[in-house]
């Protein structure tokens, strides 16, 4: 039976589901953001795509709150045997930086969208009011931070994914496998 909660050895199903759901949505929001800002006013999607980007971004912020709460109330699985202390420190730094960058990207997205004092409508389900509206040139400044930190986030994803693939194909350990919810391997297990 797969476990919902993390154990000292492995990630539980909730942490795994939250990890991959957020990874997919963040990559999707990046692609969408990148594409939508180049649309011209006459494009039929000129208004729709930013509405979708903002709506999904706000829903993702709610998922992030759940994820942080879950992370803080669950044990963190120990690194797989063979991971060096330097790798452990680097991984921990990257994981914390992820949370920080995601929060700042979301918050600057909120500041761009509400700079004119109008609330963000989330697919007609609910809306998020404007609060901070008086930062000078708020829309442009928040837009720049949003753009550059979104690039930074993706650069970190590349590094993070490369590290996961290195564990899998070079070190041949279970780091990636346990984030995929697979049982510890028999394939390479005997000589580990
Ligand atoms: C992790 C989540 C997010 C990612 C990765 C992301 C990524 C991006 C990217 C790559 C762009 C294009 C930037 C440019 O080239 O100027 C963009 C634009 C934008 N994003 Fe996000 N975004 C996220 C969340 C949000 C949220 C939560 C909101 C608002 C609630 C938001 C609102 C906007 C707006 C309004 C723009 C257009 C900015 C402009 O016209 O310059 N984003 N986003
Ligand atoms: C936007 C994309 C991604 C983000 C924001 C992200 C974020 C994170 C974070 C914060 C953790 C630490 C565990 C936690 O707090 O839940 C983690 C763990 C992990 N991620 Fe990602 N990740 C992303 C994409 C990927 C991809 C594409 C891969 C694989 C190719 C991957 C593989 C892993 C693995 C194997 C772990 C477990 C590390 C360990 O056990 O110490 N992630 N990720």
- Return mean pLDDT, the chain: 94
- Atom 27 of ligand 2, nearest CA residue: 161
- How would residue 191 be classed by pLDDT, with cut points 50, 70 and 90? very low
Predicted model pTM: 0.94
> Which domains are assigned to the chain?
13-184 (1.20.950)
Cβ atoms of 143 and 112 within 8 Å: the answer is yes
Looking at the predicted structure, is the pLDDT value of residue 127 above 70? yes
Q: Which residues line ligand 2 (CB under 6 A)?
A: 15, 19, 22-23, 26-27, 71, 77, 79, 91, 95, 98, 157, 160-161, 164-165, 175-176, 179
- Atom 3 of ligand 2, nearest CA residue: 23
Q: What is the dihedral of CA 148, 153, 158, 160, to 10 degrees?
A: 150
Atom in ligand 2 nearest the alpha carbon of residue 77: 40
User: What is the tens place of the pLDDT at every residue in 22-61?
Assistant: 999 999 999 999 999 999 999 999 999 999 999 999 999 9
pLDDT average, residue stretch 147-164 = 98
């Amino acid at each position: 039976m797969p476990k919902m909660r993390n154990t000292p050895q492995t990630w539980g199903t909730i942490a795994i589901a939250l990890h991959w759901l957020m990874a997919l949505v963040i990559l999707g929001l990046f692609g969408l953001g990148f594409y939508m800002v180049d649309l011209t006013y006459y494009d039929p999607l000129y208004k729709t795509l930013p509405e979708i980007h903002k709506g999904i971004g706000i829903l993702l912020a709610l998922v992030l709150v759940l994820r942080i709460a879950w992370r803080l109330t669950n044990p963190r699985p120990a690194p797989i045997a063979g991971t060096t202390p330097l790798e452990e420190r680097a991984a921990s730094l990257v994981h914390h930086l992820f949370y920080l960058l995601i929060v700042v990207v979301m918050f600057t997205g909120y500041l761009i969208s509400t700079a004119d004092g109008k609330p963000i409508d989330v697919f007609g389900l609910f809306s998020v009011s404007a609060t901070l509206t008086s930062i000078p040139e708020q829309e442009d400044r928040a837009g720049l931070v949003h753009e550059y930190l979104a690039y930074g986030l993706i650069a970190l994803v590349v590094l993070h994914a490369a590290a996961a693939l290195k564990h899998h194909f070079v070190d041949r350990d279970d780091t990636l496998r346990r984030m995929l919810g697979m049982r510890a391997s028999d394939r390479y297990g005997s000589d580990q």
